[in-house]
């Protein structure tokens, strides 16, 4: 269910509960939650110890206006109270763990904080990891995982380096080799402890399992894939397994492939054309999810503050005649727009009657090269967004249009 379905009509009890579970997965991604249909309640924690009854919240939600429903969802998030964080570093040290999170999720959380009145921001202690991923430091309790902010480091009186080192020590202690082979030459971690993807940080493990030239992928939080870079069929198979994981898992991490240089994972583009094409397709799949989730949040924010701007949709399309898959967004004349970064852009000219008069499909790179002065990159956005307020000359558009 879309987070904006509630703008159209009152949801059923089951749809309302699924909406809350989706919001919980975003705001509290490491807090186990499930819907008890018989009791019409949300159970939080591994043992369901925290109970939030929905009998009163649901009719209030159905009766509320569009704006009030958004506020009610925010109030619901305020009912969630994970267990406390240890007050001293000595207590926290053995519970620290590193966790990989997709930058799309990090951006969603940043956007969700905008426009909210808080005494202090709910920050994360994190380090950049790759082009689409960040490394977040967590407190791993008996029932929940919790992130924490830099104010917590100050309270403990320790540096970020000290906390990171302790987290890595704990990860190594928990990482006895544990793999299965979903396809020949492809190794998948089977720890199932919420830190499978984090083990890409352990190069010795990758070399032991995949050999002298290991490659890795971490498509979802509970997935670490390894193969030998010397085995072309295994490289292709690993991308296929990653695509399957991405389709089935609800907590994506990274669409990239990695190799190890000087003990560090770095982005790797295989020389094989088929593997590169499959990776590009996988990245489009991830960006589609990122842009879609953020569009809903941006639309809500713009509605609250009265901003009249269109958040363009990221779409994936296929040209069967050319056996080509590509992403596309729409730039319409006279419309203040936020564009996602896509392979192509549909340039639309509307008449006074709002009917389409002209439509041209342009390659992004050619369009940006000619019209960069009209396309302002939005600061700090992930994935890339561009604000466009003008519209190129039609003669230029026609000259750049694809046949």
Looking at residue 340, what is its pLDDT?
97
Q: State the alpha helices, DSSP H only, in 28-175.
A: 57-63, 66-78, 89-92, 103-113, 150-156, 160-173
pLDDT, the chain, mean: 87
94 plus 74 within the same structural domain: no
Flag whether pLDDT at 209 surpasses 70.
yes
Q: How far apart are CA 318 and CA 58, in angstroms?
A: 41
Q: What is the pLDDT of residue 273?
A: 95
- How many Å apart are CA 132 and CA 125, to the nearest integer? 17
CB-side neighbour CA atoms (13 Å) of 51: 8
Contacts of 351 (CB under 8 A, 6+ apart): 357
Domain annotation covers residue 275: no
* SS3 label, residue 62: helix
pLDDT at 122 over 60: no
Please report whether residue 375 resides in a domain.
yes
Domain boundary among 117, 141, 173: 173
Instruction: Say if residue 297 is in the same domain as residue 390.
Output: yes
341 shares its domain with 312: yes
Q: The tokens of 7 are what?
A: 């703008």
Q: How confident is the model at residue 119 (pLDDT cuts 50, 70, 90)?
A: very low
- Please indicate, yes or no, if residue 58 is contained in any of the structural domains: yes
The pLDDT tens digits for 316-359 are: 998 888 888 899 999 999 899 999 999 999 999 887 777 778 89
What is the pLDDT at residue 81?
58
Which tokens go with 316? Answer: 């994936």
Same domain, 166 and 189: no
In a domain, 286, yes or no: no
The answer to whether residues 96 and 74 belong to one domain is no
Report how many helices (DSSP H) and strands (DSSP E) the chain contains, helices first: 12, 21
With 90 as the cut, is the pLDDT of residue 121 above it? no
Predicted local confidence at residue 151, as pLDDT: 86
Confidence of residue 251 (pLDDT cuts 50, 70, 90): confident
Specify whether 323 is located in the same domain as 384. Answer: yes
262 belongs to a structural domain: yes
Q: Specify the pTM.
A: 0.78
pLDDT attached to residue 79: 64
Query: pLDDT higher for 13 or 96?
Result: 96
Domain endpoint, select from 255, 270, 285: 270
Peptide bond just before 83 cis, omega within 30 deg: no
Query: Residue 278 domain-assigned?
Result: no
In a shared domain, residues 169 and 253 = no
Q: Same domain for 390 and 302?
A: yes
**317 found inside a domain:** yes
The domain in which residue 53 lies consists of 5-78
Q: What is the pLDDT, as a whole number, of residue 4?
A: 40
Same-domain status, 35 and 132: no
The number of domains in the chain is 4
Closest CA to 391 of 341, 330, 344, 314: 330
Q: Are residues 396 and 310 in the same domain?
A: yes
Residue 123: what pLDDT? 60
Per-residue model confidence (pLDDT) at position 113: 66
For residue 109, the Cα-to-chain-centroid distance in whole angstroms is: 10
Adjacent-strand bridge partners of 388: 337, 375
First to last CA, the chain: 38
298 and 391 in a single domain? The answer is yes
Same-domain check for residues 167 and 186:
no
Question: Which among 267, 270, 263, 261 is positioned nearest to 239, based on CA atoms?
Answer: 270
Do 183 and 204 contact (CB within 8 A), yes or no?
no
Q: State which of 24, 47, 78 marks the end of a domain.
A: 78
In-domain check, residue 391: yes
pLDDT at 312 over 70: yes
pLDDT at 374: 95
| More confident site: 79 or 162 | 162
């Amino acid at each position: 269910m879309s987070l904006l379905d509630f703008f159209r009509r009152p949801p059923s009890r089951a749809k309302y509960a699924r909406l809350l579970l989706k919001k919980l997965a975003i705001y509290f991604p490491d807090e186990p939650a499930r819907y008890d249909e018989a009791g019409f309640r949300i159970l939080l924690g591994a043992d369901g110890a925290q109970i939030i009854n929905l009998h009163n919240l649901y009719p209030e939600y159905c009766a509320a206006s569009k704006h009030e429903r958004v506020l009610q969802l925010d109030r619901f998030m305020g009912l969630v109270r994970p267990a406390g964080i240890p007050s001293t570093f000595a207590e926290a040290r053995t519970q620290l763990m590193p966790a990989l999170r997709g930058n799309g999720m990090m951006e969603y959380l940043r956007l969700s904080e905008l426009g909210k009145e808080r005494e202090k921001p709910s920050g994360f202690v994190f380090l950049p990891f790759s082009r689409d991923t960040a490394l977040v430091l967590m407190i791993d309790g008996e029932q929940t995982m919790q992130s924490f902010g830099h104010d917590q480091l100050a309270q403990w009186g320790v540096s970020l380096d000290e906390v990171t080192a302790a987290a890595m020590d704990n990860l190594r202690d928990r990482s006895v080799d544990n793999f299965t082979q979903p396809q020949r030459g492809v190794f998948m971690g089977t720890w199932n402890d919420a830190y499978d993807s984090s083990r890409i940080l352990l190069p010795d493990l990758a070399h032991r399992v995949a050999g002298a030239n290991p490659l890795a992928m971490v498509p979802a939080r509970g997935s670490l894939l390894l193969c030998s870079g010397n085995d072309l069929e295994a490289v292709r198979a690993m991308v296929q397994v990653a695509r399957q994981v991405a389709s089935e898992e609800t907590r994506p991490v990274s669409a990239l492939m990695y190799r190890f240089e000087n003990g560090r994972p770095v982005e790797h583009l295989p020389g094989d054309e088929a593997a590169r094409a499959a990776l590009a397709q996988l990245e489009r799949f991830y960006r589609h999810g990122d842009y879609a989730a953020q569009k809903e949040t941006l639309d809500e924010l713009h509605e609250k503050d009265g901003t009249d701007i269109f958040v363009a949709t990221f779409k994936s399309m296929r040209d069967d005649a050319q056996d080509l898959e590509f992403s596309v967004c729409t730039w319409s004349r006279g419309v203040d727009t936020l564009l996602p970064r896509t392979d192509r852009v549909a340039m639309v000219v509307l008449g006074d009657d709002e009917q389409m008069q002209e439509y041209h499909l342009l390659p992004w790179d050619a369009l940006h090269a000619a019209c960069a002065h009209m396309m302002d990159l939005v600061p700090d956005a992930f994935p890339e967004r561009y604000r466009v307020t003008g519209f190129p000359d039609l003669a230029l558009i026609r000259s750049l249009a694809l046949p």
